[in-house]
């Protein structure tokens, strides 16, 4: 399907981000969303070949709504400027680590993997797993195949001080201070329009599976 239409729609939405315009262009929105859903299906089908947790999921299960749910009073825009999907066990709103793809024009399209803002219990369990298995975690985050697709490596918001229960001498403190654990990479619009874009996304996300499994196993463990 024509991803040029999808990118053009999102550009127009960014320039006219209000309900009146969306109501007038509802048919175009549904067409653009169908194009994005077809892309998500391609990626999801590729991921399902190696990720058992995703095999029961459909694009409907993983695609986020375009409406903003967390607007502040200072945010006048009711709609996101992107279309996104969270491909993880249980669907888009599940608390697990997983795989992500968002399309947004002007070079803001990105793929990623990991866990964003886990709750306190999950974060404690992840830190404990890193502390107990630092060598394994180091191998996962420094894997050459992962860094080939995600050269910035593992990232996330960090605490300024050591988390409770750890001190300045704790091994791997740099990673224990993380409040989320994710890798991501952006794409120019020209990449999004390539016929093999979905396959390239799948290839990149496949390299993150060991990291995703490490995080999910940590969150599943009993403290």
89 pLDDT tier (thresholds 50, 70, 90): very high
This prediction has a pTM of 0.94
Sign of the CA dihedral running 208, 214, 217, 219: negative
Alpha carbon separation from 198 to 35, 65, 79 (Å, rounded): 12, 21, 25
Mean pLDDT of 52-60: 95
> Does residue 75 surpass a pLDDT of 80?
no
- For residue 223, what are the contacts with CB-CB under 8 A and spacing of at least 6? 121, 124, 125, 128
Q: What is the pLDDT of residues 103-162, one digit of tens each?
A: 999 999 999 999 999 999 999 999 999 999 999 999 999 999 999 999 999 999 999 999
- The helix or strand, by DSSP H or E, that contains position 24, with its residue range, turns out to be helix 19-24
| Residue 219 Cα to chain centre, angstroms | 17
State the pLDDT at residue 73: 61
State the pLDDT at residue 74: 74
**Mean pLDDT score of the chain, rounded to an integer?**
95
> What share of the chain in percent tops pLDDT 70?
97
Radius of gyration of the chain (CA): 19
| Domains present along the chain, CATH in parentheses | 3-220 (3.30.930)
Token reading at 212 = 């995703």
Distance CA 33, CA 139 (A): 38
Mean pLDDT of 51-64: 96
Mean pLDDT of 154-177: 94
- The helix or strand, by DSSP H or E, that contains position 87, with its residue range, turns out to be strand 83-87
State the pLDDT at residue 222: 65
Strands (E), 88-159: 98-103, 109-115
Closest CA to 67 of 144, 13, 118: 13
State the pLDDT at residue 70: 72
Q: Which residues does residue 113 pair with via DSSP β-bridges, in sequence order?
A: 99, 183
Q: What is the pLDDT of residues 4-54, one digit of tens each?
A: 999 999 999 999 999 999 999 999 999 999 999 999 999 999 999 999 999
């Amino acid at each position: 399907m024509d991803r040029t239409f999808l990118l053009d729609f999102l550009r127009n939405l960014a320039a006219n981000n209000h309900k009146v315009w969306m109501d007038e262009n509802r048919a175009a929105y549904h067409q653009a969303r169908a194009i994005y859903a077809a892309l998500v299906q391609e990626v999801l089908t590729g991921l399902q070949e190696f990720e058992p947790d995703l095999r029961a999921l459909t694009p409907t299960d993983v695609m986020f709504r375009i409406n903003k749910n967390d607007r502040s009073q200072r945010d006048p825009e009711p709609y996101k400027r992107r279309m996104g999907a969270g491909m993880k066990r249980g669907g888009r709103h599940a608390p697990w680590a997983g795989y992500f793809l968002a399309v947004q024009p002007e070079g803001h399209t990105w793929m990623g993997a990991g866990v964003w803002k886990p709750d306190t219990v999950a974060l404690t369990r992840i830190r404990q797993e890193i502390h107990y298995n630092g060598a394994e975690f180091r191998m996962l985050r420094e894997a050459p195949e992962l860094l080939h697709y995600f050269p910035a490596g593992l990232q996330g918001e960090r605490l300024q001080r050591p988390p409770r229960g750890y001190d300045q001498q704790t091994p791997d403190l740099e990673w224990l201070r993380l409040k989320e654990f994710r890798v991501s990479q952006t794409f120019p619009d020209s990449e999004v329009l390539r016929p093999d874009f979905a396959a390239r996304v799948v290839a990149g996300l496949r390299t993150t599976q060991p990291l995703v499994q490490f995080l999910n196993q940590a969150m599943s463990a009993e403290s």
